[in-house]
């Protein structure tokens, strides 16, 4: 495993564990590497979402009621 140095015990549903074992065998990787990659991707998505919130903080807001009224007015709903 490339540079994976910390351990954790993780409990999976038996079906998920079986799927991970099969995927690891098919891709010649370890379950640890599959999980590490999945977590990294998830954390990158979170970071992108947080950056989007920061980038859009100065955008004007609209109330839910106004949004619904505008959608109705424009024939969207």
Q: What is the pLDDT of residues 26-57, one digit of tens each?
A: 999 999 999 999 999 999 999 999 999 999 99
What is the structure's pLDDT at 5? 81
d(CA 65, CA 63): 5
**Mean pLDDT confidence for 2-26:** 92
What is the structure's pLDDT at 6? 87
User: Considering the domain boundaries, does residue 26 fall inside one?
Assistant: yes
Rg (CA), the chain: 22
Average pLDDT, the chain: 94
**4-48-12 Cα angle (round to 5):** 45
CA atoms within 13 A on the CB side of 33: 11
User: Considering the domain boundaries, does residue 20 fall inside one?
Assistant: yes
* Domains in the chain, number: 1
User: Considering the domain boundaries, does residue 46 fall inside one?
Assistant: yes
Segments forming the whole domain that contains residue 45: 14-73
User: Considering the domain boundaries, does residue 3 fall inside one?
Assistant: no
Q: Which residue has the higher pLDDT, 3 or 69?
A: 69
d(CA 21, CA 27): 10
User: Considering the domain boundaries, does residue 59 fall inside one?
Assistant: yes
User: Considering the domain boundaries, does residue 48 fall inside one?
Assistant: yes
């Amino acid at each position: 495993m490339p540079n994976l140095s910390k351990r954790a015990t993780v409990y999976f549903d038996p079906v998920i564990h079986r799927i991970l074992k099969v995927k690891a065998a098919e891709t010649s990787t370890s379950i640890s590497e599959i999980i590490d990659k999945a977590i990294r991707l998830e954390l990158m998505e979170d970071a992108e979402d947080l950056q989007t919130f920061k980038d859009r903080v100065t955008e004007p807001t609209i109330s839910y009621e106004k949004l619904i009224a505008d959608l109705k007015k424009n024939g969207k709903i």
